[in-house]
Amino acid sequence: MDATPTDGTPAVLFLCIENAGRSQMALGFFQHYASDRAIGWSGGSAPAASINPVAVEAMAELGIDISGEFPKPWTDEVVRSADVVITMGCGDSCPFYPGKRYEDWKVTDPKGGGIEYVRGIRDEIEQRVLGLLGELGVTAEPSITRA
């Protein structure tokens, strides 16, 4: 996670506890749809040993490869650099800095779920990411073709 000056480019940090499922899928969608028009990072308060393989599979079904990602902790530098901090289930363990825009997305944890279960979570996260990009004035493209 390299926190670099954004020069007016919106920067979003996606946080969950393990940084193995929800925040990784959110970052995957964000990077796909925003490309270089926005900056995205993800992190966890207690990172898991590895990314959720079912989350990787669910994203791959849509042509988004998150297999190269890995769970990582958030850093003060990245939190301070973000314009928007999206939390997903980390409650009081997520950082809070006054003056920063926070959103808490109540999204079910995909941990332990099969592919059908994770697809529903994935699709909810996709819609939330698209809404966020719209709020930030970032054009979401390219679209995803579903089979």
Q: Which of 16, 26, 107, 129 is catalytic?
A: 16
Active site residue 25: no
Active site residue 94: yes
Contacts with 84 (C-beta within 8 Å, 6 or more apart), sequence order: 10, 11, 12, 13, 100, 101, 102, 103, 132, 136
Closest CA to 18 of 53, 49, 64, 57: 49
3-state SS assignment for residue 23: helix
Active site residue 132: no
Q: Which of 90, 121, 138, 140 is catalytic?
A: 90
User: What's at 90, amino acid-wise?
Assistant: C
Q: Which of 55, 66, 78, 94 is catalytic?
A: 94
Strand order of the sheet with strand 101-104? 39-44, 11-16, 84-88, 101-104
> Residues with catalytic annotation?
16, 90, 94
